[in-house]
Chains A and B, each alone.
Chain A
């Protein structure tokens, strides 16, 4: 239907499902985000964010940037695990960390911290929208094992809640009744 634009080659439509000129305007199924002024700008932005994360171990940004940065942060740890004698690892750390004292931190602190982990070095949570006029979606991203207070406190069940007190009372009463019934049964079994 759309080939009215004139596909000049004689190839079948089925060979290239989306190679018509409209493909430049329609972005169905494309998952790569476009950030900043271009691909190089996006990489520079990611580099800044990764540097900040390695320095502070917990940062808050927009959701898209945090999501995009997560992959780079975890890959950097993977490279850090190779050790600082590895040429490639050192080059990667040199490129991705703009503040050079953080290279020491990566190889001496973060890589040993995650030595036993297999992936999943970061946590990302969504936070309420920014208070500005733009109401941007925000997220907080952190390396696991950071020294700060936890963002999610797992709720421990307390024995002092009403429900737990009632259940405890019910359990105790059932035990008391059972121990009261047991002596009645014994004489009958002795008779038989």
Chain B
């Protein structure tokens, strides 16, 4: 409206040539128009305008914009939520549920332990054999604890474990001897 008003006043049956007087007059009209319309331009303050045709009721109700995250107006604003359009058929459901990426993967890294025959994973120690070694280790540690007899008495020499009926050899000299009163197990060879 601002520029149209200037055009109408400027081109009412005049020649196309613009003289300085005409330019000044147009400029004055522009300034006057701007001054008169200043209030209209700034009040109400510029607010975002919907570029899309939307129903009048939402999200503006009663002339004010409503915060869509305001939970008290939740029911008014569920227009904007995603919802399935149609029922998923059982065929489509089966395709999704039975897709190989959802099924349990087959492990090909399971082997039989050559010592005990239990199952083990290839990159993991056999559970049965490890339990066996762990129990014996715990018993040896118990003997060490009894020999040290207290805290902060850790030995500064090597340790040799001897079983029933074994005598220290020249390889064991200089080591502290830990004795276990049982027969030497087959999986704990001397050397």
Contact = CB atoms under 8 A, between A and B. Distances in A.
B156 A153 contact: no
Nearest to A102: B154
A104 B155 CA distance: 9
A27 B114 CA distance: 42
A128 B134 CA distance: 13
B125 A149 contact: no
Would you call the interface of chain A mostly helix, strand, loop, or mixed? mixed
Contacts of B115: 153, 155
B23 interface: no
Nearest to B186: A153
B188 A150 contact: yes
A147 B187 CA distance: 14
Interface string B113-157: 011000011011101011001101100110000000000111111
A125 B125 contact: yes
B33 interface: no
Contacts of A155: 114-115
Interface of B: 114-115, 120-121, 123-125, 127, 129-130, 133-134, 136-137, 140-141, 152-161, 178, 185, 187-189
Contact of A101 (B120, B152, B161, B189): B152
Contact of A109 (B127, B137, B156): B156
Contact of B188 (A55, A58, A100, A149): A149
Nearest to B153: A101
A126 B130 CA distance: 10
Interface of A: 55-56, 58, 60, 99-102, 104-105, 108-109, 113, 125-128, 140, 145, 147-153, 155
Contact of A127 (B127, B136, B152, B153): B127
A113 B127 contact: no
Please give me the 3 A-B residue pairs with the lowest Cβ-Cβ distance, nearest first: A149-B188, A147-B159, A108-B156
Given A126-B123, A128-B127, A153-B115, A105 B140 contact: no
Nearest to B159: A147
8 contacts: A104-B156, A109-B157, A127-B125, A127-B127, A140-B130, A147-B161, A148-B161, A150-B133
A2 B21 CA distance: 56
A155 B113 CA distance: 11
B154 A151 contact: no
Given A102-B154, A104-B154, A155-B114, A147 B140 contact: yes
A151 B126 CA distance: 10
Nearest to A105: B154
Contact of A152 (B125, B157, B185): B125
Contacts of A140: 125, 130
Given A58-B137, A126-B123, 4 more contacts: A127-B127, A140-B130, A148-B133, A153-B187
Contacts of B123: 126
B157 A149 contact: no
Contact of A126 (B125, B156, B159): B125
Contacts of B136: 148-149
A142 to B, nearest CB: 10
Nearest to A147: B159
A136 B181 CA distance: 35
Nearest to B136: A149
Contacts of B127: 127-128
A149 B154 contact: no
Contacts of A126: 123-125
A58 B138 CA distance: 10
